[in-house]
A and B are shown apart, each in its own frame.
Chain A
């Protein structure tokens, strides 16, 4: 575990206070609490940002009542959701019904823990980073499937099954487009991937044309993974009520909702790490200032999130057959060809 400078004093103080094993446990708990706090704040802020951007794209004003400029709107919403009654259906499978909302949120939190926010802020630099992220983030769909199944509601079930179809299909494109970039880096470890980009420029520049194609495929497939609007037939309001979370209320609904937005953050963060150099500054202009690294990282993530919200409020929803056609007839073949092209380019040394 690597720590930034201002935390090393706390680290030393903890180890001087108590035996090593207890110090380790306390430290882990503190870090987990820190990540949870980031999780909640980022989720709330993204919901607010989504509403503002939706408003601006539709030439409206957006939330502007609660607090200065409406910045406390989602906090008020969250308080309302906390105070709401947790309703449920009588014939639901109560154990699974109550368990299901924790799957998306826990899987999102696990993925958050391996992200590199800067050269020092990274909870766990696992050496199979990308592989770990892809495999863990697909656990979230189990929560959606369970929620839809346990609700004992036909609309929920249809929504959950659509989600299963969609995520299983688009998982392939996400994995293969990331694999295209892993060919360039030669490592799955996130810190290694960023180290490669420090010397050779961002991967989207190093890989030029195949990298841009991979990025486009990754953004499409990533948007589908998070069940956001061009691909939101999981919870298609006009067809299914609210899809898999029709029967959920209060905080259980809020968990699903928060997990969706954190997943969007994660998709953007992975895109930034793989394609846009993670916490590196453009052209290395501020690489010697350590504390600017997370700022650069979050700024780039914000840019990608803006792009995803731009998609969301532009494109209409796809039908289920259109979604499967897009994946299996277009994205997957293009992706496979793209990997071969990338391999040939690397073999011939044509990278920038």
Chain B
């Protein structure tokens, strides 16, 4: 008798599958899970944990939080980050301190692994949410993250 029960369970399982896809088919015009990407570019919001590229946020006084400790450069597995730094005399204390000249970031080599952001002791660099990173010249992918003339925030201690 397993012959007939096979037929019965076969038809039943096929109908179950068809009911699932049929429900999807009916509700597709209202509830597609994909997005109209190029059309909704203005309203598109990426997710908090999405990793687009490394940026260094600056506040309104053109101050960043990078002390030039090079933790990110050491943490980076494929050498995407290079920091050119210098020692200058601090006016208030008279001590020599390390400041960054250029925080160079190679987006073309970066795998967006987030290790540099985790390694940073002062939260100077974060992951941005943009993803339209294509350019016509690969030299544009080598970016200097600190803005010209920016200084380290006075609250940040090494």
Verify if B34 is at the interface (C-beta below 8 Å from A). yes
Verify if A283 is at the interface (C-beta below 8 Å from B). no
User: Are A59 and B24 neighbours in the complex by a CB distance under 8 Å?
Assistant: yes
**What is the CA–CA distance of A343 and B31 in the complex, to the nearest angstrom?**
49
A285-318 residues at the B interface, CB under 8 angstroms: 310-311, 313-315
**What is the CA–CA distance of A252 and B34 in the complex, to the nearest angstrom?**
34
Residue-wise, chain B 26-46 has the 8 Å CB interface mask toward A (1 for contact) of: 001101111010000000000
Give the contacting residue for B25; candidates A61, A310, A311, A330; CB below 8 A.
A310
Q: Given A56-B28, A57-B28, A59-B28, is A310 in contact with B33 using a C-beta cutoff of 8 Å? A: no
Cβ contacts under 8 Å, A61 to chain B: 32, 34, 36
Verify if A58 is at the interface (C-beta below 8 Å from B). yes
A200 nearest CB across to chain B (Å): 28
Please tell me which stretch of B13-21, B53-61, B72-80 contacts chain A, meaning at least 4 of its Cβ atoms lie within 8 angstroms of it: B13-21
Verify if A23 is at the interface (C-beta below 8 Å from B). no
User: Are A310 and B36 neighbours in the complex by a CB distance under 8 Å?
Assistant: no
Verify if A60 is at the interface (C-beta below 8 Å from B). yes
A55-91 residues at the B interface, CB under 8 angstroms: 55-61
Cβ contacts under 8 Å, B36 to chain A: 61
Cβ contacts under 8 Å, B32 to chain A: 56, 59-61
A interface, size bucket: 10 to 19
**What is the CA–CA distance of A61 and B7 in the complex, to the nearest angstrom?**
36
Q: Given A315-B14, A330-B7, is A60 in contact with B34 using a C-beta cutoff of 8 Å? A: yes
**What is the CA–CA distance of A313 and B28 in the complex, to the nearest angstrom?**
14
A194 nearest CB across to chain B (Å): 29
Q: Given A314-B17, A314-B18, A315-B14, is A58 in contact with B7 using a C-beta cutoff of 8 Å? A: no
User: Are B14 and A58 neighbours in the complex by a CB distance under 8 Å?
Assistant: no
Residue-wise, chain B 50-88 has the 8 Å CB interface mask toward A (1 for contact) of: 000000000000000000000000000000000000000
* B interface: dominant SS: helix
Cβ contacts under 8 Å, A53 to chain B: 25
User: Are A57 and B34 neighbours in the complex by a CB distance under 8 Å?
Assistant: no
**What is the CA–CA distance of A120 and B3 in the complex, to the nearest angstrom?**
47
User: Are A314 and B21 neighbours in the complex by a CB distance under 8 Å?
Assistant: yes
B102 nearest CB across to chain A (Å): 43
List the B residue with the shortest CB-CB distance to A330: B7
Cβ contacts under 8 Å, B31 to chain A: 59
User: Are A315 and B17 neighbours in the complex by a CB distance under 8 Å?
Assistant: yes
Cβ contacts under 8 Å, B34 to chain A: 59-61
Q: Given A56-B29, A59-B31, A59-B33, is A310 in contact with B22 using a C-beta cutoff of 8 Å? A: yes
**What is the CA–CA distance of A56 and B34 in the complex, to the nearest angstrom?**
11
B95 nearest CB across to chain A (Å): 61
Cβ contacts under 8 Å, B29 to chain A: 56
User: Are A55 and B28 neighbours in the complex by a CB distance under 8 Å?
Assistant: yes
User: Are B7 and A56 neighbours in the complex by a CB distance under 8 Å?
Assistant: no
**What is the CA–CA distance of A55 and B29 in the complex, to the nearest angstrom?**
10
A27-69 residues at the B interface, CB under 8 angstroms: 53, 55-61
List the A residue with the shortest CB-CB distance to B6: A330
B38 nearest CB across to chain A (Å): 9
**What is the CA–CA distance of A61 and B38 in the complex, to the nearest angstrom?**
14
User: Are A56 and B14 neighbours in the complex by a CB distance under 8 Å?
Assistant: no
User: Are A56 and B24 neighbours in the complex by a CB distance under 8 Å?
Assistant: yes
**What is the CA–CA distance of A310 and B24 in the complex, to the nearest angstrom?**
11
User: Are B7 and A313 neighbours in the complex by a CB distance under 8 Å?
Assistant: no
A306 nearest CB across to chain B (Å): 9
Cβ contacts under 8 Å, B6 to chain A: 330
User: Are B17 and A56 neighbours in the complex by a CB distance under 8 Å?
Assistant: no
Residue-wise, chain A 321-341 has the 8 Å CB interface mask toward B (1 for contact) of: 000000000100010000000
List the B residue with the shortest CB-CB distance to A329: B3
B113 nearest CB across to chain A (Å): 30
Cβ contacts under 8 Å, A334 to chain B: 7
Cβ contacts under 8 Å, A311 to chain B: 18
**What is the CA–CA distance of A55 and B28 in the complex, to the nearest angstrom?**
8
List the A residue with the shortest CB-CB distance to B7: A330
Q: Given A60-B34, A61-B34, A330-B7, is A310 in contact with B18 using a C-beta cutoff of 8 Å? A: yes
A232 nearest CB across to chain B (Å): 17
8 A-B pairs whose Cβ atoms sit less than 8 Å apart in the complex: A53-B25, A57-B28, A59-B32, A60-B34, A61-B32, A61-B34, A61-B36, A311-B18
If A59-B34, A311-B18 are given as contacts, then 10 extra A-B residue pairs at C-beta distance below 8 Å, sorted by A number, are A57-B24, A57-B25, A57-B28, A58-B24, A59-B24, A60-B28, A61-B34, A310-B21, A314-B18, A314-B20
Question: Which residues of B does A touch, CB under 8 Å?
Answer: 6-7, 14, 17-18, 20-22, 24-25, 28-29, 31-34, 36
Closest 8 CB pairs of A and B: A56-B28, A314-B21, A59-B33, A57-B21, A314-B17, A57-B25, A60-B34, A56-B25
